[in-house]
Structure 1
Amino acid sequence: MHNKFYLILVLCMSLISCNSGLVFSEYEALSNGKWEMDETLHFEFLELDSIQQHNMFISVRNDNTFPFSNLFLITELEFPDGNTQRDTLEYRMAKPTGEWLGKGMGSIKESKLWYKENIVFPDSGVYKLSVSHAMRKNGEVDGLFILDGITDVGLEIEKSTQ
């Protein structure tokens, strides 16, 4: 009897946690939690509903070896017609107390970071997103060749509710 109760509870929890607006989700794992400076992550997706607005998120999973409270990323979104949008982004990853802002149990935390809000994908074809890190230590000109503590980076696209 208790097993049936737990099974029903697990099913209900999984249904509640599902995101019905999610239209794309993909993650790239980084080997041994190390992101090399010249390692660019690539995501590709086909056109979505051409009149529907979408929200794009970059999801980052980090562990306790990540040595910073923020994260700088360089992104390049390429449209099917060849036009590109390049952005340099900064995200807070921890509170001033050092507590991670991401969600999750144990040593891995996942942060869902806003990338583009209410974007429309009007062109048919393949869209490409490239993501690389742009981290460096304070006072240093050269970037970090290896960024520790990032285990996975993902792209999620959801239908906008606006």
Structure 2
Amino acid sequence: MNLVRRLAFGLLAIPVIIGCDDNLVATDSKSFDGASWPASEPAQFLIEPVDTVTDFQIYLNMRNNKSYAYKNLWLITQMKFPQGKIVTDTLEYAMADARGAFLGTGSDVVENKLIYKKEFRFRESGTYQLTLQQAMRKSGSAQPLEQLEGVLDVGYTIEKEIQNGSK
């Protein structure tokens, strides 16, 4: 019963914590059953920008547990703009140091906030589509892992760009 209370409190506290961050513009995530991200299941998000003149930081978020067995993360990201332009990137993020200690915050569940776009401006009005796909492979193999074990969820966060120490 104590675990249920802590979980309920944690879920109720999330909006309060997020509400206190004046720079936070948008956030969303996708969870994976069994803490395993299938290669055939990209995470897709629709983003409705708040304006077209402000610069933003876009972060990718990943929460993993101790079953995550790699020191890096390879992602294929795709940003589809409202007028049809598509920008695809292959990105590598360090997830653990040389000793294997995770770089994010937490112990049983590790939270990672990975920079995706700095000083990004949503220049087009309309809906943007962000797609995240894991592109992990075993060493020496060209085939992606069918399941990336240890991934609880992935998502994004958009924050206002802080300039000269002001918001």
TM norm structure 2: 0.85
Matching residue of 2:132: 131
Contact in 2 for aligned 1:47/1:122 (Cα 8 Å): no
1:27 and 2:44 matched: no
Q: Any residues of structure 2 matched to 1:39-54 within 5 Å, and which?
A: 39-54=41-56
Q: When the two structures are aligned, how many residues end up with a matched partner?
A: 149
Deviation at residue 18 of structure 1 after TM alignment: 3.2
Matching residue of 1:146: 147
- Where has structure 1 moved over 3 Å in runs of 4 or more? 14-18
For residues 147 and 78 of structure 1, the distance between their equivalents in structure 2, rounded to whole angstroms, comes to: 25
Q: 1:59 to 1:89 in 2, by over 3 A?
A: same
Matching residue of 1:76: 78
Matching residue of 2:104: 102
Deviation at residue 98 of structure 1 after TM alignment: 1.1
Please tell me the residue identity of whatever aligns with 1:143. Answer: P
Partner-residue secondary structure (3-state), 1:132:
strand
Please tell me the residue identity of whatever aligns with 1:138. Answer: S
For residues 137 and 17 of structure 2, the distance between their equivalents in structure 1, rounded to whole angstroms, comes to: 41
For residues 159 and 135 of structure 1, the distance between their equivalents in structure 2, rounded to whole angstroms, comes to: 31
Structure 1, unaligned stretches of length 5 or more? 1-10
For residues 129 and 120 of structure 2, the distance between their equivalents in structure 1, rounded to whole angstroms, comes to: 14
TM norm structure 1: 0.87
Structure 2, unaligned stretches of length 5 or more? 1-12
Contact in 1 for aligned 2:18/2:24 (Cα 8 Å): no
String of CA shifts for 1:41-69, please: whole Å, max 9, x gaps. 01111122211000000000000000100
Please tell me the residue identity of whatever aligns with 1:118. Answer: E
Deviation at residue 89 of structure 1 after TM alignment: 0.4
Q: Identical aligned pairs, as a percentage? A: 36
Q: Which has the larger radius of gyration?
A: 1
For residues 135 and 15 of structure 1, the distance between their equivalents in structure 2, rounded to whole angstroms, comes to: 32
For residues 17 and 147 of structure 2, the distance between their equivalents in structure 1, rounded to whole angstroms, comes to: 39
